[in-house]
Chain A
Amino acid sequence: EPEVTQTPSHQVTQMGQEVILRCVPISNHLYFYWYRQILGQKVEFLVSFYNNEISEKSEIFDDQFSVERPDGSNFTLKIRSTKLEDSAMYFCASSEGPGGSNYGYTFGSGTRLTVV
């Protein structure tokens, strides 16, 4: 079964450092997403990406965050200057059709980011 692959599985970084989280979505999917889940809290939407541009972003996705699809397979989330409160599990997802419709999301296994 096709999978969404995320690397690394764990990342520890010092406050103020930049991190890049990587994702390889399912190859025939066109819509890509980043969500995060702080320990014990709900899954929160960060950003969606389609046709090489951001289609929607939440209030969490401020100027410290950026996304990129540098080639035909990778989808990255960059946090420029990490803060302690950025510590969370970050999930990448992809879907064949647009979000909010009857197309399901396939999630990766996540990257656990710890900011110290």
Chain B
Amino acid sequence: TQLLEQSPQFLSIQEGENLTVYCNSSSVFSSLQWYRQEPGEGPVLLVTVVTGGEVKKLKRLTFQFGDARKDSSLHITAAQPGDTGLYLCAGGRPGNQFYFGTGTSLTVIP
């Protein structure tokens, strides 16, 4: 099992604030994905990053894959209540499955 630690575990912020969520591991991954999960639902894929140092933007969300491909971050600009949910990173290598991180539960207060 590949251990992926996410921080913070819980985050509660006001609407309009910025935030960053971190995903760290001692293992190298060939790809890393971020998912968002809402209560009672399955995770929904947000992005996949595969190259060290890669940055991808999805509207107000910015994802970065660390140069060494051991870590990743998710930055949200001007958070909105609709961003509330559990954010999960998942690391994988070819021929192996994606293993999920410990999750960050985000609450955006209107």
Q: Is residue A21 contacting chain B, with contact meaning CB distance below 8 A?
A: no
Known A-B contacts A58-B1, A100-B94, A101-B94; the reply to A44 vs B48 at CB < 8 A is no
Q: Is residue B26 contacting chain A, with contact meaning CB distance below 8 A?
A: no
Contact of A101 among B31, B42, B43, B103 (CB under 8 A): B31
Interface residues of A, CB < 8 Å — how many? 26
Q: Total number of A-B contacts with CB less than 8 angstroms?
A: 70
Q: Is residue B80 contacting chain A, with contact meaning CB distance below 8 A?
A: no
Q: Which residues of chain B are within 8 angstroms of A102 by Cβ–Cβ distance?
A: 31, 48, 50
Residue of A whose beta carbon sits closest to that of B47: A104
Complex Cα spacing A109 to B93, Å: 25
Interface string of B81-110 (1 = CB under 8 A from A): 000000010101111111111110000000
Whether B43 lies near A45 (C-beta < 8 A) is: no
Q: Is residue A87 contacting chain B, with contact meaning CB distance below 8 A?
A: no
Interface residues of A in 25-49 (CB under 8 A from B): 33, 35, 42-45, 48
Whether A42 lies near B103 (C-beta < 8 A) is: yes
Interface string of B31-52 (1 = CB under 8 A from A): 1010101001111110010100
Interface size band for B? 20 to 34
Whether A99 lies near B102 (C-beta < 8 A) is: no
Q: Which residues of chain B are within 8 angstroms of A43 by Cβ–Cβ distance?
A: 37, 43, 88, 90, 100, 103
Complex Cα spacing A33 to B92, Å: 14
Q: Is residue B30 contacting chain A, with contact meaning CB distance below 8 A?
A: yes
Whether A100 lies near B31 (C-beta < 8 A) is: yes
Residue of A whose beta carbon sits closest to that of B96: A100
Whether B97 lies near A107 (C-beta < 8 A) is: no
Interface residues of chain B, those whose CB is within 8 Å of chain A, are: 1, 30-31, 33, 35, 37, 40-45, 48, 50, 88, 90, 92-103
